[in-house]
Amino acid sequence: MLTELEKQLLNDFQHGMPLVSEPYAEIASELNQKGFNVTEHDIIDCLATLKEKGMISRVGPVFKPKSVGGSTLAALAVPKERMEQVAQIINRFSQVNHNYEREHQFNLWFVVTASSQDEVLQVLSEIEAKTGLKVLNLPMEEDYHIDLGFPLWC
């Protein structure tokens, strides 16, 4: 079960993080105008709880591809009996921002985002070394904007 504050944060702040020196204080102010009684610290604590619950993985910006740093989509063909083990290895990399299983020969897909393309390649190399599996590197050739935000609660 989610609290009303957790629901509001997940619903209202998928886009438009305040670009100010104290964004969590600004979020608290916006929510207080909607009838909440919260502080900046309440917001930070709530986001930490959402992360602990596995509801969010991170709070941060998403940059237009190829404008800052480097990134790639990657895939592995993982034997079914190793799926959980390999997924845990992938999830340990802070540069991996999501990781998911698919029904395909290449059944574990993930995105690597790093400060440079060289770092992306280094991460892929480390993943190969730690898993013993060859990474399929699928760098973006053309970008399409797909808005992944959607209303969770009305």
Query: In the structure, what pLDDT confidence band is assigned to residue 153 with cuts at 50, 70 and 90?
Result: low
**In whole angstroms, how far apart are CA 77 and each of 9, 86, 124, 134, 152?**
36, 10, 14, 8, 33
What is the pLDDT confidence band of residue 97, given thresholds at 50, 70 and 90?
confident
CATH of the domain at 102: 3.30.70.3460
The model's pLDDT over 111-151, given as tens digits with 9 standing for 90+, comes to: 999 999 999 999 999 999 999 999 999 998 887 766 667 77
Task: Identify which of 76, 120, 128, 67 has the alpha carbon closest to the alpha carbon of residue 97.
Answer: 120
Tokens of residue 96, six digits: 């991996």
Whether 38 maps to a domain, the answer reads yes
Work out how many domains the chain is built from and give that number.
2
Helices (H) and strands (E) in the chain, counts: 5, 4
Which 8-state DSSP code applies to residue 99?
E
39 and 95, same domain (yes or no): no
Residue 149 within any structural domain of the chain: no
Average pLDDT of every residue of the chain? 90
Residue 78 within a domain: yes
In a domain, 146, yes or no: no
State whether 78 and 119 are in the same domain: yes
Q: Taking each helix axis from N to C terminus, what angle separates 40-52 and 23-32, rounded to the nearest 10 degrees? A: 100
Q: How far apart are CA 59 and CA 81, in angstroms?
A: 33
Domain assignment of residue 88, given as a range: 70-138
Query: 106 versus 153: which is more confidently predicted?
Result: 106
Band of the pLDDT at 64, cuts 50, 70, 90?
low
Q: Are residues 34 and 80 in the same domain?
A: no
- pLDDT by residue (tens digit) across 4-57? 999 999 988 888 888 899 999 999 999 999 999 999 999 999 999 998 988 887
In a domain, 104, yes or no: yes
Asked whether 124 and 72 are in contact (CB, 8 A), the reply is: yes
Single-letter amino acid code for the residue at 83? M
Q: Are residues 47 and 81 located together in one domain of the fold?
A: no
Q: Are 26 and 78 part of one and the same domain?
A: no
Whether residues 99 and 43 fall in one domain: no
pTM (2 decimals)?
Answer: 0.62
Dist. CA 22–CA 40, nearest whole Å: 8
Phi and psi, residue 8, nearest 5°: -65, -45
> pLDDT value at position 103?
94
Assign 3-state DSSP to the chain and report helix, strand, coil percentages, each to 5: 40, 15, 45
pLDDT at 35: 95
Residue 15 lies in a domain: yes
In a domain, 147, yes or no: no
Both 121 and 76 in one domain: the answer is: yes
With respect to residue 28, please indicate whether it lies within any of the assigned structural domains. Answer: yes
